[in-house]
């Protein structure tokens, strides 16, 4: 297949692109590089510098494309609170333009990068795909809900074959966000630089941390599916944040002080998925243990 990856120069997109190429798919990376990095784009891929708002360029890039993996989005939660209009325009309006361009180009398959944040604070655990979608705690989360709605409507109206993947907590090599707001890269960088680790809630929150290569493999595994499918993508179990910090200390062989940041509004105490639906549908499951994933991630940040 020939696949276009929006946001393919980003953290997860770079891993998805590599795995597609390793499986002999043709890949076009479409990215405006506002948050991505050209150096992360596999040299085997065709690269198009473009924004989702550039409909003519986007439609041209979609020629002879069999499927799209849509990962282009702004993702920094605090920034979304400060600039909600920017997030709406980039994420929601951009996705609407993409769907219009797909229609014009005759592309009928889409895999969408969504988030577990659409569930808000869950009523019960583990979270399943039948868990209630709630009003998001921030504009970023709300854009993911609205983007899902657009895709579902397109499926109903035009028969678009779509897979919505709701990520839990990805981590791993190539995570180069600026500013970095995700826990694990911040913990690792603080440790390697021998600086205090910033920690909310004393690290008692429980999260489902999934290694990025496992997450990327879910995108290639669902390419053959038709219709509309929604899957949670996680490991199926939760880990306390403080235990992740302790594992990092064990791997590097020393510890650093912890800077207690207290409580943070909008943090759910516990978030993890059952991960059964995707396993039953396509026999996909995460393979990398937290210890293995952290070792690889620490090695990346040591050598980057």
Cα separation of 184 and 290, whole Å? Answer: 11
Selected catalytic residue, list 87, 140, 167, 272: 140
Cα separation of 199 and 233, whole Å? Answer: 25
Task: Check the CA dihedral 30-166-77-293 and report its sign.
Answer: negative
Best CA proximity match to 72, nearest among 98, 46, 47: 98
- Please state, in angstroms and as integers, the Cα–Cα distance from residue 104 to each residue in 15, 56, 61, 78, following that order: 29, 10, 12, 35
Cα separation of 164 and 147, whole Å? Answer: 10
Q: In this structure, what are the phi and psi dihedrals at residue 245, rounded to the nearest 5 degrees?
A: -60, -45
Cα separation of 5 and 47, whole Å? Answer: 10
Cα separation of 219 and 221, whole Å? Answer: 5
272 is known as an active-site residue: no
Supply the DSSP symbol for 157.
H
Report long-range pairs for 194-198 (Cβ below 8 Å, ≥24 apart). 194/256, 195/256, 196/256, 196/257, 196/258, 196/259, 197/245, 197/256, 197/257, 197/258, 197/259, 198/259, 198/261
Catalytic residues: 140
């Amino acid at each position: 297949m020939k696949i276009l990856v929006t946001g393919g120069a980003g953290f997860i997109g770079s891993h998805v692109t590599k795995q597609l190429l390793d499986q002999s798919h043709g890949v076009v990376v479409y990215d405006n590089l506002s948050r991505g990095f050209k150096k992360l784009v596999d040299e085997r891929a065709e690269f198009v510098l473009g924004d989702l708002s550039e409909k003519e360029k986007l439609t041209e890039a979609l020629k002879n494309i069999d499927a799209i993996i849509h990962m282009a989005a702004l993702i920094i939660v605090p920034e979304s609170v400060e600039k909600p209009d920017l997030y709406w325009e980039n994420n929601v309006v951009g996705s609407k333009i993409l769907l219009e361009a797909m229609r014009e180009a005759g592309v009928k398959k889409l895999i969408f990068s969504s988030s577990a944040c659409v569930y808000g604070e869950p009523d019960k655990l583990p979270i399943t795909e039948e868990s209630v979608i709630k009003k998001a705690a921030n504009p970023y989360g709300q854009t993911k809900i609205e983007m899902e709605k657009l895709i579902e409507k397109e499926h109903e109206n035009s028969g678009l074959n779509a897979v919505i993947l709701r990520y839990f907590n990805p981590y791993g090599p190539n995570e180069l966000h600026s500013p970095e707001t995700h826990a694990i890269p911040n913990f690792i960088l603080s440790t390697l630089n021998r600086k205090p680790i910033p920690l909310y809630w004393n690290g008692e929150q429980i999260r489902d941390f999934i290694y990025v290569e496992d997450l990327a493999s879910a995108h290639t595994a669902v390419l053959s599916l038709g219709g509309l499918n929604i899957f949670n993508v996680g490991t199926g179990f939760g880990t306390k944040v403080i235990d992740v910090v302790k594992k990092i200390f064990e791997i590097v062989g020393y510890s650093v002080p912890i800077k207690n940041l207290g409580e943070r509004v909008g943090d759910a105490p516990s978030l993890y998925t059952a991960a059964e639906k995707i396993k039953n549908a396509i026999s996909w499951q995460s393979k990398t243990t937290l210890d293995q994933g952290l070792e690889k991630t620490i090695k990346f940040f040591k050598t980057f």
